[in-house]
Amino acid sequence: MIPFNKPYLTGKETEYIEDAVLTGKLSGNGKYTKLCQHYFEEKYNFGKCLLTTSCTDALEMAAILANIQPGDEVIMPSYTFVSTSNAFVLRGAKIVFADSRKDHPGIDEASIESLITEKTKVIVPVHYAGVACNMEKIMNLATKYNLLVIEDAAQAIDSYYTFSDGSKKVLGSIGHLSAFSFHETKNIISGEGGMLVVNDLKFSNRAEIIWEKGTNRSAFFKGEVDKYGWVDIGSSFLPSEIIAAFLWAQLENLEKIQTKRIGIWNNYYFGLEKWAKKNDVILPYRPDYSTNNAHMFYLVCKSIEQRTILIKKLKEHGISAVFHYLSLHESPFYHSKHDGRALPKSNHYSNCLVRLPLFYELKEEDIKKIIDIITTI
């Protein structure tokens, strides 16, 4: 049996959890929360980092910071996880779904400008599989139309974008705000977990307030106010120190984990290259401006029938391969609210994309077995 995913433990997680207990503080914003946030701010030159209980919650914080009001429009790909859109719908936004690129499930940047109206407030590029969206194009549009860019970097840890002038920035550091996930299926995990990155520091103080349930508690502990109270909307976005301690053990091993995953990814790629070409199956495409963080290895089959056969064959051998997302513009919740535009590429990935097992402890012989099964179909 080869599962689709298996959470990897570095070995220090429970030790750090026990240490967190010894600090006498298990609620949020303690020693390990600060260690993790500082790590990200230093390593990736992010703006202010705030751990959250999930990437969903980080996106919800971003939607509040963007001051989304009923009727405001938010542009995002239809081929994405439901939380990308729900976070904005909860604030009353109208979602304007864009199609995917032909060569990649990420948002088709060429389609965005025609979707911008006077009501547009935010563009949400989703870095699918950790592959960068065309951030230069998107940031230029944002400047031209005075929009905010909120990167959905759920899958994008440790992946970089190169601008046309040759400068390079890590994903999540380019938009005004960005959201990461540490869900158990991600490269770096804490079971459930996420992080908001505030790159435009004009949002920094309000981000802390929203994070602390709408109170100015952070300012109080910094000695900036003499008592704290209810000053804004907000929620309990911050995770327990138990979660942060677990995450810290993972971060200490980030480079080791990334090296291992990239090795697995390359094994898949080179093992399947010939077969894919012969069978009209598309392997992951990566534009020159993006690095590969080996978050995911996927295939785009030529048809839903081909994908069904592939998944079934793998399942017969005890191997779990999965597909996702149903296009959000055609979902039961949103299809009547969508403006009717066809988004064929999103639907194509919906029908034809399949993800292969990829986790730290996936053995070479398992990869070989998976490749052997696929290539004999």
- 186 as an active site residue: the answer is yes
Our CB check for a copy of itself shows the closer of 37 and 173 to be 37
| Helices 304-316 and 364-375, packing angle to 10 deg | 130
Q: Which ranges in 127-174 belong to alpha helices (H)?
A: 135-145
Task: Using DSSP, state whether 364 is helix, strand or coil.
Answer: helix
Catalytic residue among 48, 94, 121, 186: 186
Beta 297-300 vs 194-198: how paired, if at all? unpaired
- Closer to a copy of itself by CB, 3 or 43: give it: 3
CB of 222 to a copy of itself, least distance (A): 17
> What are the backbone angles phi and psi of residue 41, rounded to the nearest 5°?
-60, -40
- Cβ proximity to a copy of itself: between 109 and 241 the closer is 241
- Residue 52 one-letter amino acid: T
Helix or strand or coil: residue 343?
coil
Q: Which is nearer to a copy of itself, 27 or 45 (CB)?
A: 27
Tokens 């194009």 label which residue? 137
The smaller minimum CB distance to a copy of itself, of residues 44 and 246, is found at 246
Select from 160, 150, 110 the least CA-distant residue to 291: 160
Element (H, E) at 29: none
Backbone dihedral region of 249: left (phi > 0), alpha (psi from -120 to 50 degrees) or beta? alpha
> Which residues make up the interface to a copy of itself (CB under 8 A)?
3, 6-7, 9, 13-14, 17-18, 21, 24-28, 53-57, 60, 81-83, 85-87, 89-90, 183-185, 189-193, 213-215, 227, 229-236, 238-243, 246, 326, 328, 331-334
CA distance 375 to 189: 32
Cα dihedral sign, 328-53-155-320 = negative
Q: Which residues are designated catalytic?
A: 186
